[in-house]
């Protein structure tokens, strides 16, 4: 071992003599410790006599100064009786063993051998003392061995047996005792093991395992502090350290490990004495300088040293940082005084210890360690201080008032930081005030954002909060600018962290959030409508769906509240609101229009056949039987109102409009309701988006300005009106009225199944339609019924199936019936459909009726010409059956062919058989 304990202890005197330490201590001088006060209680320990420290002197014994060993005994609170026992044990251990070194003595084992029960007050005291010695051996040899140990080692197992016996009762420690022999053999086997790291040679390992050795060594180092004045270091520290150094071989302590433990001892004493003596922390810092040098040289070569270093310095850093992470709470009472100075000492300790560990973990990675850690302390402490202000201010007051006061208190906190703490922190950080200001800015920003997130409108309270936030932001930004002015890079890194509150943007975000919330409520209304809407009118005065009323109320309230917010609304915000509402309207309109299509009600076309050429008698019989014929029921099997009335020949049938069709009428009314309200909303959006009027003329101009925000929704609603009206009309004609129209008209013969009954039912249905559908939608609804009726009339003539056949002589009656059908819409429509419109929609059906007035020869000729003109057949080629286009006209080949197929004529039948090989009807 080297002669020095550490650089501060270099040249210390031996500790076994009785010379009083009357001169100045080199260790204290090197560590910057102040000299003791000149009082009787503060005089050097060695200068005190035995009579001063241990009672009256013995007769005949003069007063003498204490030796360093006696000082050590008193500092460790070892009684004279225990000291005497220990001395006798050591003396007996070395008697007759010349040359045996003290570090080869396993002290607890020797104590067990040498001390007998007679030297204790009673057997119980001896038993407890004996068990303590065994436990100490267990700690050094088994629990914390310096060399790796197999826990199933035979020596370990023997030791455990003896230990278990000792726990029950005191064992016999005589030399020939079996228990003592087993214990001695086990201890010697474990203590004198050799292995990697043992150093080889004659080495005894019983107290040099980590962490036992460090705990024992630190307890020895604590003897340098005066028991009567715990913040003071004895002037005899040099002699005590030299004495303690003699334990290094036994405890496996090296100079680097001693330096770490010495620094820890000063730090621990500083902590347990309530941090009142800054010199103790300064001494720890001075020793840490040696520790840093050792760590660079030692590196990670010594595993035990690394464990000691990381454990001790990590604990120092952790404890220090626990206070530094909330230094406002730790030092606020002593701002500008001693506690602030203590904060500087604590910063030095935390940063020194932390940098040593960081440098060891990653060489060169901790170049800016101090600045980064101080930055972290500032941010954490500011957040903690801000949180306490917030918690203290949160009571029963209104949130807006609390936030306004919080802004004022936050500004005061920033001023305190700048005035009192920033000067201390600037030693390690280039702009601590700026970091503190940025942190407070962010903290208040979080609370402000939470407050705005819960706000439902821009109230006076919210305006006051925003004004207070603006003032706070201005003060904090000014602090940042002033603090970074002298920095090398202008504090760009910290300035970039400032996210402006930007009150105008906050308002915009608030409006956007508010808009999204209101649109969400409207969407929920839409979803409820999709799940629960039954398309039943609210009342006779409000013949539309309840869901539409709820949706438009929400929409109107949203627009009114939006423009009632006391801020200038921007066009993009208005457009966002309009786009969101229009999307919802689109979805609702699509929901309204999702009622099927007219194709689902059109009958399937029967296969093309030619009329049977029955005998005259059979035809007369069929005609005679026709009046008793019950109309064929719908293939869909639906039961409709009025059907029984028609079957019984009633003259005033009830309308046959089904519930499903009436619900479609409610959809039409609902679409009209939407159209009118969408138009009003569009006007409001267009007017308010141009700002408040400055003059009556400008107000008039804005009111007359065309709407532009919800045009697509209006167009979608208009299209949906036509679609729903078409589906309702086809359902009314082909499903509700099938018994009197498509399934009853001209069945069995034209003369006996004219259109009069169907017209009566149609007029009743039109009357019901006009009583249910609102006025503005009636023209569209009636027109669609007219188109469906004309389509049904055409299908009766062209696709009537095997129950219908026509002759040229039937043309007049069919033509008369169709004129009656046209008149029904001209007269019953109450002027809703003009004659020009009726004539235009009737052109296709009239062309079919006109074909029925031609002879079979004329029809054949026209079919041939139409096929050639349409490209169905080329001249000289065999005729092919023209495809069905559903576009009935006298020039359409399929229309002419269908007329021929329903012509009860020999010429037509022969032509169809010869040309197209069509079968007869069955």
pLDDT at 733 over 50: yes
State both tokens at 446: 């979080």
* Residue 96, pLDDT score: 56
> Which of 365, 390, 419 delimits the end of a domain?
365
Q: What is the mean pLDDT of residues 847-851?
A: 90
Contacts (Cβ under 8 Å, ≥6 apart) of 652: 645, 760
- Same domain for 783 and 666? yes
In three state form, how does the secondary structure of 633-678 look?
Answer: CCCCCCCCCCHHHHHCCCCCCCCCCCHHHHHHHHHHHHHHHHHHHH
- Domain count across the chain: 4
If 0-12 CB within 10 Å is exposed, 13-18 middle and 19+ buried, where does residue 652 land? exposed
- Same domain for 354 and 376? no
Q: Is residue 82 part of a domain?
A: no
* Residue 446, pLDDT score: 92
Categorize the per-residue pLDDT at 437 as very low, low, confident or very high, splitting at 50, 70 and 90: very high
Q: Higher model confidence: residue 359 or residue 163?
A: 163
Interatomic CA distance for residues 811 and 847, integer angstroms: 12
State both tokens at 810: 């039937």
Q: What is the pLDDT of residues 467-490, one digit of tens each?
A: 889 899 999 999 999 888 877 777
- Same domain for 484 and 508? no
Residues 897 and 881 sit within 8 Å (Cβ to Cβ) = yes
pLDDT at 255 over 60: yes
Interatomic CA distance for residues 730 and 792, integer angstroms: 9
Q: Is residue 599 part of a domain?
A: yes
- Same domain for 493 and 507? no
Interatomic CA distance for residues 43 and 49, integer angstroms: 11
Q: What is the pLDDT of residues 582-604, one digit of tens each?
A: 899 899 999 888 888 888 898 88
- Same domain for 803 and 891? no
Reduce the DSSP state of residue 192 to 3 states and report it: coil
Q: Higher model confidence: residue 440 or residue 488?
A: 440
Q: Higher model confidence: residue 301 or residue 622?
A: 301
Query: Is the previous residue joined to 211 through a cis bond, with omega within 30 degrees of 0?
Result: yes
- Same domain for 819 and 869? no
Q: Is residue 512 part of a domain?
A: yes
pLDDT at 690 over 80: no
> Which of 497, 514, 548 delimits the end of a domain?
497
| Parent domain of 885 | 854-921
- Of the ranges 66-80, 104-118, 132-146, which is most confident? 132-146
Interatomic CA distance for residues 486 and 497, integer angstroms: 19
- Of the ranges 5-14, 93-102, 297-306, 835-844, which is most confident? 835-844
pLDDT at 9 over 50: no
- Of the ranges 294-298, 544-548, 671-675, which is most confident? 671-675
Count of residues for the chain? 922
State both tokens at 590: 């699509």
Q: Measured at the alpha carbon of residue 494, what is the angle toward residues 490 and 499, in degrees to the nearest 5?
A: 120
- Same domain for 360 and 392? no
Categorize the per-residue pLDDT at 77 as very low, low, confident or very high, splitting at 50, 70 and 90: confident
Q: Is residue 543 part of a domain?
A: yes
Interatomic CA distance for residues 903 and 897, integer angstroms: 10
- Same domain for 560 and 683? yes
Interatomic CA distance for residues 226 and 228, integer angstroms: 6
Reduce the DSSP state of residue 55 to 3 states and report it: coil
Q: What is the pLDDT of residues 772-792, one digit of tens each?
A: 998 888 999 999 999 999 999
* Residue 700, pLDDT score: 43
- Same domain for 672 and 734? yes
pLDDT, mean over the chain:
80
Interatomic CA distance for residues 667 and 595, integer angstroms: 9
Categorize the per-residue pLDDT at 47 as very low, low, confident or very high, splitting at 50, 70 and 90: low
State both tokens at 616: 């005259």
Of 198-212, 464-478, 488-502, which gets the smallest average pLDDT?
198-212
State both tokens at 340: 């602030």
Q: What is the mean pLDDT of residues 164-185?
A: 90
Interatomic CA distance for residues 133 and 107, integer angstroms: 9
Task: Give the closest residue to 561 by CA, choosing from 474, 458, 635, 667.
Answer: 458
* Residue 375, pLDDT score: 93
pLDDT at 855 over 50: yes
pLDDT at 713 over 80: yes
pLDDT at 16 over 90: no
- Same domain for 382 and 489? yes
Q: What is the pLDDT of residues 408-429, one digit of tens each?
A: 999 999 999 998 899 999 999 8
> Which of 795, 810, 843 delimits the end of a domain?
843
Q: Is residue 117 part of a domain?
A: no
- Same domain for 551 and 670? yes
Per cent of the chain over pLDDT 70 is 81
* Residue 63, pLDDT score: 59
State both tokens at 587: 């979805």
Q: Is residue 127 part of a domain?
A: no
- Same domain for 407 and 482? yes
Interatomic CA distance for residues 65 and 20, integer angstroms: 7
* Residue 652, pLDDT score: 54
Buried/exposed 203-220: b ≥16 CB within 10 Å, e otherwise: bbbbbbbbebbbebbbeb
Single pTM value for the model: 0.57
* Residue 633, pLDDT score: 35
Residue 274 belongs to what H/E stretch? none
Q: Is residue 101 part of a domain?
A: no
Q: Is residue 120 part of a domain?
A: no
pLDDT at 455 over 90: no
- Of the ranges 528-532, 612-616, 730-734, which is most confident? 730-734
* Residue 299, pLDDT score: 65
If 0-12 CB within 10 Å is exposed, 13-18 middle and 19+ buried, where does residue 303 land? exposed
Q: What is the mean pLDDT of residues 220-244?
A: 90
DSSP letters for 12-33: PPPSSS-----S--HHHHHHTP
Interatomic CA distance for residues 523 and 531, integer angstroms: 13
Q: What is the pLDDT of residues 370-403, one digit of tens each?
A: 889 999 999 999 999 999 999 888 766 788 889 9
**Helix 893-901 / helix 778-798 crossing angle, nearest 10 deg:** 60
If 0-12 CB within 10 Å is exposed, 13-18 middle and 19+ buried, where does residue 391 land? exposed
Task: Give the closest residue to 36 by CA, choosing from 26, 25, 51, 46.
Answer: 25
């Amino acid at each position: 071992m080297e002669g020095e304990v550490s650089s501060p202890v270099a040249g210390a005197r031996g500790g076994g003599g009785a010379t009083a330490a009357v001169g100045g201590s080199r260790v204290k001088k090197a560590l910057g410790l102040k000299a003791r006060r000149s009082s009787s209680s503060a005089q050097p320990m060695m200068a005190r006599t035995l009579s001063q420290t241990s009672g009256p002197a013995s007769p005949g014994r003069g007063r003498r100064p204490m030796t360093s060993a006696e000082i050590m005994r008193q500092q460790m609170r070892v009684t004279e009786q225990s000291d005497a026992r220990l001395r006798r044990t050591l003396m007996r251990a070395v008697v007759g063993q010349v040359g045996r070194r003290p570090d080869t003595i396993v002290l607890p084992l020797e104590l067990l051998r040498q001390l007998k029960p007679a030297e204790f007050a009673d057997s119980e005291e001896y038993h407890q003392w004996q068990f303590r010695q065994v436990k100490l051996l267990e700690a050094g040899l088994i629990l914390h061995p310096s060399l790796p140990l197999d826990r199933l080692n035979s020596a370990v197992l023997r030791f455990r047996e003896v230990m278990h016996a000792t726990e029950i009762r005191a064992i016999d420690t005589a030399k020939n005792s079996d228990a003592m022999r087993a214990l001695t053999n086990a201890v010697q086997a474990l203590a004198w093991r050799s292995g990697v790291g043992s150093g080889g040679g004659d080495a005894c390992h019983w107290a040099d395992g980590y962490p036992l050795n460090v705990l024992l060594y630190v307890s020895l180092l604590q003897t340098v502090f005066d028991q009567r004045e715990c913040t003071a270091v004895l002037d005899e520290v040099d002699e005590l350290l030299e004495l303690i150094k003699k334990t290094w071989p036994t405890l496996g302590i090296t100079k680097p490990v001693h330096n770490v433990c010495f620094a820890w001892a000063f730090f621990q004493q500083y902590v347990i004495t309530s941090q009142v003596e800054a010199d103790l922390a300064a001494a720890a810092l001075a020793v840490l300088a040696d520790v840093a040098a050792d760590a660079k040289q030692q590196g990670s070569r010594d595993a035990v040293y690394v464990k000691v270093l990381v454990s001790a310095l990590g604990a120092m850093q952790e404890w220090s940082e626990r206070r530094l992470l909330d230094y406002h709470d730790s030092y606020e009472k002593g701002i500008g005084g001693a506690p602030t100075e203590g904060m500087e000492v604590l910063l030095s300790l935390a940063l020194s210890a932390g940098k040593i560990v960081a440098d060891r973990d990653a060489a060169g990675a901790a170049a800016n360690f101090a600045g980064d850690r101080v930055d972290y302390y500032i941010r954490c402490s500011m957040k903690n201080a801000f949180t306490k202000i917030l918690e203290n201010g949160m009571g029963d007051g209104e949130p807006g008032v609390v936030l306004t006061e919080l802004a004022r208190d936050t500004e005061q906190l920033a001023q305190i930081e700048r005035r009192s703490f920033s000067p201390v922190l600037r030693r390690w950080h280039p702009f601590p005030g700026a970091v503190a200001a940025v942190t407070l800015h962010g903290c208040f920003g979080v609370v402000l954002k939470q407050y705005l997130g819960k706000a439902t409108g821009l109230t006076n309270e919210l305006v006051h909060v925003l004004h207070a936030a603006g003032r706070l932001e201005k003060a904090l930004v000014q602090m940042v600018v002033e603090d970074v002015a002298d920095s090398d890079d202008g504090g760009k890194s910290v300035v970039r962290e400032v996210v402006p509150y930007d009150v105008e943007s906050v308002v915009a975000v608030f409006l956007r959030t508010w808009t999204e919330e209101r649109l969400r409520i409207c969407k929920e209304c839409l979803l409820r409508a999709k799940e629960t809407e039954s398309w039943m009118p609210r009342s006779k005065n409000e013949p539309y769906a309840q869901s539409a009323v709820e949706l438009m109320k929400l929409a109107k309230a949203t627009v009114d509240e939006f423009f009632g917010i006391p801020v200038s609304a921007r066009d993009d915000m208005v457009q966002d609101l309009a786009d969101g509402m229009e999307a919802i309207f689109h979805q609702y309109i699509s929901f309204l229009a999702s009622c099927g299509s007219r194709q689902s009600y059109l009958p399937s076309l029967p296969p093309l056949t030619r009329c049977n050429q029955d005998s005259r008698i059979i035809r007369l019989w069929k005609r005679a039987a026709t009046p008793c014929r019950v109309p064929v029921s719908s293939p869909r099997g639906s039961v409709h109102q009025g059907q029984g009335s028609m079957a019984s020949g009633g003259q005033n049938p009830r309308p046959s409009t089904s519930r499903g069709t009436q619900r479609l009428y409610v959809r039409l009314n609902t679409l009209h309701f939407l159209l009118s309200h969408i138009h009003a909303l569009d006007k409001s959006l267009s007017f308010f988006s141009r700002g408040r009027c400055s003059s009556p003329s400008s107000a008039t101009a804005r009111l007359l300005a065309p709407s532009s925000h919800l045009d697509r929704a209006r167009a979608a609603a208009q299209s949906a009106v036509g679609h729903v009206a078409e589906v309702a009309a086809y359902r009314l004609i082909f499903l509700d009225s099938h018994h009197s129209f498509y399934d009853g008209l001209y069945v069995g013969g034209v003369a006996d199944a004219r259109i009069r009954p169907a017209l009566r039912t149609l007029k009743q249905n039109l009357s019901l339609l006009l009583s249910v559908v609102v006025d503005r939608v009636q023209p569209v609804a009636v027109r669609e019924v007219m188109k469906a009726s004309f389509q049904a009339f055409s299908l009766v003539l062209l696709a009537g199936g095997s129950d219908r056949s026509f002759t040229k002589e039937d043309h007049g009656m069919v033509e008369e019936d169709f004129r009656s059908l046209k008149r029904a819409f001209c007269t019953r429509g109450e002027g809703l459909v003009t004659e020009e419109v009726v004539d235009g929609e009737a052109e296709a059906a009239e062309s079919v009726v006109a074909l029925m007035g031609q002879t079979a020869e004329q029809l054949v000729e026209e079919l041939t010409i139409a096929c050639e003109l349409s490209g169905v057949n080329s001249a000289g080629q065999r005729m092919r059956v023209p495809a069905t286009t559903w576009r009935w006209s006298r020039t359409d080949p399929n229309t002419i062919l269908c007329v021929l197929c329903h012509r009860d004529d020999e010429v037509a039948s022969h032509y169809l058989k010869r040309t197209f090989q069509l079968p007869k009807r069955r």
